[in-house]
Amino acid sequence: MKKTENAVWSFFASVKLALITLLILATTSIIGTIIPQKNPPEFYIQNFGPKTAQFFQLLDVPDMYNSWWFTALLLLFSINLIVCTIERLPNVWQMVVMNNLDTPIDRLEKMPTRKIFHGSASRQEMTQRVAAQLKEAGWPSQMEEKTNGTLLFSQKGAWSRLGVYAVHLSILIIFAGAIIGSAAGFKASVMIPEGSSTDTVYEYGSEKPIPLGFNVACDQFSVTYYDDGHTPREYRSVLTVRDSALAAPMTRPIIVNDPLDYRGITFYQSSYQPMQGFGVTITNKTSNASEDFQIPYGKKISWAGTDIEFGLINQQARSRMGDVSHVKFWFSDGQGDPATLWMEDKSTQSLSRQDAEYEITVRQLYATGLQVAKDPGVWVVYFGCSLMLIGLYVAFFLSHRRIWVYITEEAGNSRILLCGASSKNKIGFDKDFAALTERFEKNDVFQNA
């Protein structure tokens, strides 16, 4: 029993498995970039034939990144990470916290990076001088008296040995964040016509209604264009949240890259739809009477209580989306010939009539398309990402550097052994070490051996 346990354990503890898993993840991930994902079953039958389509469904290829086998691969990857960490971290931790003053002297004498000095001062005095030199050079030291000599030790960046484990942990944290997000969050969308509101959004894919628990209205949607007339500059929706928990309705405009966040639910500007309708405002400048209308295209409308009739009798499209750039406005007040005006969308024009001045504003009505997401795991993911970057930096660019100095005395003369080691970046450490020996050489007290 013990033996099989060990076999299972060492299977998951092997870096070979990690390498193979990484390469399998890399290779299988390609499939979903070539075969379009999340299309209806008919799509695959049409494009790949019924037999291949059936095979695809069997292996969840149409949604491979959520398939059982891809999830299993990620799970294998995670277990491998955890087991590898459990296997190796204790030893590395030992290296971080170990007392380096216990290092056997004969090991120090054999270190590849070492230098020997002599001095005429006593062991005690020499120890003080060496400690002062080390401190000045940025290597504050600890000291221990040994049977035949004195050992000084100093180190930098011991904790940098943990960098790689921070990276491994960060991957698990990101996975945890993703799981929290998919278990406790949702991705949905909703289309709200200007002037309407909703308390329900619809889940991606399933179209399942999700109640928000509050009400969101689209007061206004606008799309503006650059001077070239067709490249969109900004999509903007003015949203109002109404909630019994709010003292007053909360109104905020949103644009792409600047969503609205309310009670953990975020509303993103994602699309829009022009509607077959227009907002028309007519102001009688003479009497100061004014009225807003929402009218369909091509229908004659009367302003109640006046003789005024108006409508939109022609339009020019801006794009295939159905945006209108200009409309032809028709106006009659029962006196003289009716007037017609070509008006730009979202513009105001004056109209002089026999006994009054009018101001007319026309704008196309839209529905705004919002993506609505709730993801309580996102901060966990961001934390994991930050940890990963810090961990990678530490793991790649910082090293654990250790310096020992062993001082012995023979017939009134001291012998000083200076040696050191680094967990990585040997070349960089050799420079540090050279700088330190140079410091010793410049001091008259020490003579090269």
Distance CA(362)–CA(314), nearest Å, equals 13
**Which are the contacts of 374, defined by CB distance < 8 A and separation ≥ 6?**
184, 185, 186, 264, 265, 266
Return the number of the residue (257 or 352) whose C-beta is nearest another protein: 257
Tell me the closest approach of the beta carbon of residue 272 to another protein, in angstroms: 11
Return the number of the residue (228 or 444) whose C-beta is nearest another protein: 228
Return the number of the residue (370 or 417) whose C-beta is nearest another protein: 370
Return the number of the residue (89 or 392) whose C-beta is nearest another protein: 392
Tell me the closest approach of the beta carbon of residue 371 to another protein, in angstroms: 5
Return the number of the residue (20 or 132) whose C-beta is nearest another protein: 20
Return the number of the residue (82 or 351) whose C-beta is nearest another protein: 82
**Of 187, 186, 180, 178, which is closest to residue 74 (Cα–Cα)?**
178
Tell me the closest approach of the beta carbon of residue 165 to another protein, in angstroms: 13
Residue 310, exposed/middle/buried by CB under 10 A (0-12, 13-18, 19+)?
A: buried
Tell me the closest approach of the beta carbon of residue 414 to another protein, in angstroms: 38
**Of 146, 125, 145, 142, which is closest to residue 134 (Cα–Cα)?**
142
Q: What is the DSSP string of 25-40?
A: HHHHHHHHHHSPPS--
Return the number of the residue (34 or 58) whose C-beta is nearest another protein: 34
Tell me the closest approach of the beta carbon of residue 115 to another protein, in angstroms: 24
Bridge partners, residue 163, by sequence: none
**Of 214, 271, 259, 278, which is closest to residue 241 (Cα–Cα)?**
214
Tell me the closest approach of the beta carbon of residue 311 to another protein, in angstroms: 33
Return the number of the residue (108 or 218) whose C-beta is nearest another protein: 218
Tell me the closest approach of the beta carbon of residue 422 to another protein, in angstroms: 15
Distance CA(173)–CA(385), nearest Å, equals 9
H or E stretch at 75? helix 68-97
Return the number of the residue (78 or 371) whose C-beta is nearest another protein: 371
Q: Mapping DSSP to helix (H, G, I), strand (E, B) and coil, where does residue 180 land?
A: helix
Tell the residue number behind the tokens 């940890």, with chain if given: 387
Tell me the closest approach of the beta carbon of residue 324 to another protein, in angstroms: 20
Return the number of the residue (48 or 303) whose C-beta is nearest another protein: 48
Return the number of the residue (181 or 311) whose C-beta is nearest another protein: 181
**Of 421, 414, 420, which is closest to residue 449 (Cα–Cα)?**
414
**233 and 222 in contact (C-beta within 8 Å)?**
no
Return the number of the residue (301 or 392) whose C-beta is nearest another protein: 392
**160 and 399 in contact (C-beta within 8 Å)?**
yes
Tell me the closest approach of the beta carbon of residue 9 to another protein, in angstroms: 17
Q: Could you tell me the maximum CA-CA distance found in the chain, to the nearest angstrom?
A: 127
Q: φ and ψ at 57, to 5 degrees?
A: -60, -40
**95 and 400 in contact (C-beta within 8 Å)?**
yes
Tell me the closest approach of the beta carbon of residue 172 to another protein, in angstroms: 15
**419 and 114 in contact (C-beta within 8 Å)?**
yes
Distance CA(129)–CA(414), nearest Å, equals 12
Tell me the closest approach of the beta carbon of residue 427 to another protein, in angstroms: 8
* Burial letters 48-67, b for 16+ CB under 10 A, else e: eeeeebeebeeeebbebeeb
Contacts to another protein by CB under 8 A = 15-16, 18-19, 22-23, 25-26, 29-30, 32-34, 36-37, 65, 164, 178, 187, 226-228, 231-235, 255-259, 266, 268-270, 371-373, 375, 378, 381-382, 385, 388-389, 392-393, 396
**420 and 403 in contact (C-beta within 8 Å)?**
yes
Tell me the closest approach of the beta carbon of residue 267 to another protein, in angstroms: 8
